[in-house]
């Protein structure tokens, strides 16, 4: 029986003591290690399994961390973490107080750049390579990027610049034809033709002045090492095209790559998912969006749906199946998605642009310049708003209220439950004649019987949820469920403002004239968000009420379950009870 190689490897230095002949065994052990941990702890599985041989080869050939390795997005970096002195803590991956699910500079010297959003690796690696030139340092700089990420505009910007430098940069394309959902677009077809040998046009990467090699088998570790050793001797920008299979080594992950991108818990031996019963549970907000847009689109032929590479995660997939000519996955291209929606709106279509809150940050100028400035009625549906849990600081959607509130013409609405999400979608497609952002959280809501007849929502009107005589709590969005539990059996009054913009000033005047003590609660940042809007209203009208603002503190929130993180920052039910009882 062969010795367990991985057991004795905690760093690339130890890895390099192995012979090339031992590396296939190490690859199998590394895959098994990842599968066994993720089966119970959960995380991003398929991408890391797909680059196991590539990960080993990179650390074997290059002198990391002196040679700098940047993983785009970071979904695929589990093997990298295990081989770089984090094997013994890998079981804490994505857990409160544990290691991050993504490369993170403060966590390890081997994590040369913090990632989480896609398509940043080429620009970052080029920046490092130019810095090395200026400092007269002899280093290699390697960016590993997937075929979905390289289709993003930022990746092309990095390639375009790199091609006119003599920087010591190696871009490795991890081509598995899938991101979270299957890759889309003309570049995908080009790469498919390259793999098949049917591409007739000039090589696009050679045209950008890269020394191109490949495609090579990303699971033949001997071939990879040989090619990496050759590329080490070549000056200037280089490009290696590597073909991999996402989920390699776990049959179900190879056959169902979308589901096994981040599958939740599964049986490590069989690969079968451990599925919890969804009977008698409220739906996920994303599914309420997905089913509702299909329902609306049946009666309104002008409705179109757009998502940047998240059709499954956003549930726009339902519309893509029902109305394939009216629903568009544009790939990892948030800027394009927003301006595409703007263009459609000028022609009388009703675009629902569905994007995760954290990813809309990548299209901020387009929201301002192309949509709001022209007052175009684009309907932004911002999924994963607020805290998202284990993906941590790069993915929490906590900044949207603050960064959207300052934009003229833009309506901002946060439904407190699934019925309100349905009704605001219905209201928006009737014709508001202004852009609107609808932000809702990750996960399940609170209403089992959510599919009620549509009702219109009056723009800019809040509601009173509970009457009382002492403190007035003002909330926005789904965080109201925690407040409802916290103030049960109290004389506290609860208002749901619903709209951050326009604020219900008539209701606010009534509140400020009736209650001396006001508490605002939001799952957005306390700097610049809902609470700030309320204090601005108070100052404008010279009210002297005592106002407390509860929300996301002025720091980046790390990873953990949503319940753990809410407790950490004082937004869970127990913390709210303590806060209210103190007043």
| 493 to 487, 521, 524, 538: CA distances (angstroms) | 8, 13, 21, 18
What six digits make up the tokens of 97? 């107080």
Burial pattern 422-459, b for ≥16 Cβ within 10 A else e, equals bbbbbbbbeeeebbbbbbbbbebbebeebeeeeeebeb
Helix H, strand E, coil C: the string for 165-189 is CCCCEEEEEEECCECCCECCCHHHH
Active site (annotated) includes residue 466: no
72/143 Cα distance (integer angstroms): 7
Is 405 a catalytic site residue?
Answer: no
pLDDT score of 509: 98
Please check the confidence at residue 251 and state whether its pLDDT lies above 60.
yes
Strand-pair partners of 71: 144
Residues in the chain: 583
Average pLDDT over residues 280-304: 96
- Rounded Cα distance between 363 and 336, Å, is 8
Q: Does domain 6-255 have CATH number 3.40.50.11540?
A: no
Return the axis-axis angle of helices 52-61 and 221-231, rounded to nearest 10°. 40
Active-site hit among 86, 238, 246, 416:
246
pLDDT of 386 above 50: yes
Confidence of residue 342 (pLDDT cuts 50, 70, 90): very high
Helices 285-299 and 418-429, packing angle to 10 deg: 30
Give the active site residue among 29, 42, 227, 334. Answer: 334
Distance between CA atoms of residues 224 and 497, nearest Å = 58
Q: Which residues of 380-406 are buried (b: 16+ CB within 10 A; e: fewer)?
A: bbbbbbbbbbbbbbbbbbbbbbbbbbe
Contact present, 358 and 177 (Cβ < 8 Å): no
Q: Is 87 a catalytic residue?
A: no
Tens of pLDDT along 38-50?
A: 988 888 888 999 9
- β-pair type (499-501, 472-475): unpaired
- pLDDT value at 539 more than 90: yes
In the set 86, 188, 362, 384, the catalytic residue is 362
3-state secondary structure of 54: helix
What is the Cα–Cα distance from 241 to 213, expressed in whole angstroms?
A: 6
Q: How far apart are CA 285 and CA 292, in angstroms?
A: 10
Choose the CATH number for 285-441 among 3.30.70.20, 3.40.50.720, 3.40.50.970, 3.40.640.10.
Answer: 3.40.50.970
Helix 530-540 / helix 505-512 crossing angle, nearest 10 deg: 70
Look at residue 117 in the predicted model and tell me its pLDDT: 94
The pLDDT value given to residue 63: 97
Contact 234, 211 (CB under 8 A): yes
- Which range has the worst mean pLDDT, 73-77, 124-128, 404-408? 73-77
Q: What is the mean pLDDT of the chain?
A: 94
Number of neighbours of residue 508 by Cβ within 10 angstroms: 21
Taking the C-alpha atoms of residue 126 and residue 168, their distance in angstroms, rounded to an integer, is 8
Residue 421 has pLDDT above 60, yes or no: yes
d(CA 56, CA 228): 12
Q: Which residue has the tokens 């081509």?
A: 175
Contact 350, 426 (CB under 8 A): no
Among the residues of 430-558, which ranges form H helices?
480-486, 505-512, 530-540
Q: Return the pLDDT at 288.
A: 97
Residue with tokens 């490949």: 214
pLDDT in tens, 151-192: 999 999 999 999 999 999 999 999 988 767 778 888 888 888
* pLDDT of 407 over the 90 cut: yes
Of 63-72, 245-254, 329-338, give the lowest mean pLDDT range.
Answer: 245-254
Residue 419: pLDDT band by 50, 70, 90 thresholds? very high
- What percentage of the chain has pLDDT greater than the value 90? 85
What's the mean pLDDT in 392-412?
98
**Cα separations in angstroms, 543 against 81, 470, 514, 530:** 54, 17, 11, 17
* Structural domain boundaries in the chain: 6-255, 285-441, 463-582
C-alpha 224/C-alpha 216 separation (Å) is 7
Contact in structure between 225 and 217 (CB atoms under 8 Å): no
pLDDT given at position 1: 41
Left if phi > 0, otherwise alpha if psi is -120 to 50, otherwise beta: which for 177?
A: left
Number of Cβ atoms within 10 Å of the Cβ of 29: 18
Of 499, 494, 508, 500, the closest CA to residue 533 belongs to 500
Rounded to an integer, the average pLDDT of 470-493 is: 95
pLDDT value, residue 200:
64
- 460 to 88, 366, 410, 501, 503: CA distances (angstroms): 53, 24, 12, 7, 6
348 dihedral zone (left: phi>0; alpha: psi -120 to 50; beta): left
Please give the residue that has the higher pLDDT: either 203 or 276.
203
**Would you say 560 and 393 are in contact if contact means Cβ atoms under 8 Å apart?**
no
First vs last C-alpha separation in the chain: 68
Above 90 in pLDDT, residue 250?
no
Q: Is 11 left (phi over 0), alpha (psi -120 to 50) or beta?
A: beta
pLDDT at 5: 95
Asked if the model's pLDDT at residue 276 lies above 80, the reply is: no
Q: How many CB atoms lie within 10 A of CB 70?
A: 27
User: What does CATH list as the number for 463-582?
Assistant: 3.40.50.920
């Amino acid at each position: 029986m062969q010795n367990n190689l991985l057991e004795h490897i905690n760093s690339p230095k130890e890895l390099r003591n192995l012979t090339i002949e031992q590396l296939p065994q190490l690859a199998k052990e590394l895959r098994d290690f990842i599968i066994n941990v993720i089966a119970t702890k959960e995380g991003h599985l398929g991408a890391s399994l797909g680059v196991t041989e590539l990960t080993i080869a990179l650390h074997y050939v290059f002198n990391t961390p002196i040679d700098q390795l940047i993983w785009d997005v970071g979904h695929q970096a589990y093997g990298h973490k295990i081989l770089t002195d984090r094997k013994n803590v890998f079981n804490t991956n994505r857990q409160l107080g544990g290691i991050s699910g993504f490369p993170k500079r403060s966590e390890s010297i081997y994590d040369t750049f913090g990632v989480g959003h896609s398509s940043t690796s080429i620009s970052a690696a080029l920046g490092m390579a130019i810095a090395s030139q200026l400092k007269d340092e002899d280093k290699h700089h390697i960016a590993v990027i997937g075929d979905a990420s390289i289709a993003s505009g930022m990746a092309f910007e990095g390639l375009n610049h790199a091609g006119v430098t003599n920087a010591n940069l190696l871009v490795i394309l991890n081509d598995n034809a899938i991101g979270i959902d299957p890759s889309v677009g003309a570049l995908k077809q080009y790469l498919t033709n390259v793999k098949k040998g049917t591409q007739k046009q000039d090589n696009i990467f050679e045209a950008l002045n890269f020394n191109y090699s490949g495609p090579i088998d990303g699971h033949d570790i001997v071939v990879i090492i040989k090619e990496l050793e050759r590329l080490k001797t070549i000056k200037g920008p280089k490009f290696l095209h590597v073909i991999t299979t996402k989920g390699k080594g776990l049959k179900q992950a190879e056959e169902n790559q979308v589901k096994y991108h981040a599958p939740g818990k599964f049986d490590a031996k069989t690969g079968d998912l451990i599925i919890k019963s969804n009977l008698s549970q409220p739906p996920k907000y994303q599914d309420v969006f997905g089913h509702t847009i299909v329902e609306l689109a049946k009666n309104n032929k002008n409705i179109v749906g757009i998502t940047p590479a998240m059709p499954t995660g956003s549930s726009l997939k339902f519309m893509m199946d029902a109305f394939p000519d009216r629903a568009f996955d544009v790939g990892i291209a948030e800027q394009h998605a927003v301006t595409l929606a703007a263009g459609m709106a000028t022609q009388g279509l009703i675009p629902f642009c569905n994007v995760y809150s954290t990813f809309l940050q990548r299209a901020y100028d387009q929201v301002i310049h192309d949509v709001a400035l022209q007052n175009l009625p684009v309907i932004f549906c911002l999924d994963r708003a607020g805290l998202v849990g284990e993906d941590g600081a790069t993915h929490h959607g906590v900044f949207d209220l603050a960064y959207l509130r300052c934009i003229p013409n833009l309506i901002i609405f946060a439904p407190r439950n699934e019925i309100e999400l349905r009704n605001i979608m219905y209201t928006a497609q009737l014709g508001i004649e202004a852009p609107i952002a609808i932000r809702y959280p990750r996960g399940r809501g609170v209403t089992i019987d959510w599919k009620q007849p549509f009702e219109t929502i009056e723009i800019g009107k809040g509601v009173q949820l509970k009457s009382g005589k002492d403190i007035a709590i003002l909330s926005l969005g789904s965080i109201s469920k925690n407040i409802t539990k916290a103030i049960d059996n109290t004389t506290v009054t609860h208002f749901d403002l619903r709209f951050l913009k326009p604020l219900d000033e008539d209701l606010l005047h009534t509140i400020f004239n009736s209650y001396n003590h006001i508490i605002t609660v939001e799952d957005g940042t306390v700097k610049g968000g809902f609470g700030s809007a309320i204090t601005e209203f108070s100052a404008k009208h010279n009210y002297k009420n005592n106002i407390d603002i509860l929300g996301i503190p002025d720091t980046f929130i790390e990873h953990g379950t949503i319940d753990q993180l809410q407790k950490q920052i004082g937004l869970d039910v127990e913390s709210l009870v303590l806060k209210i009882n103190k007043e």
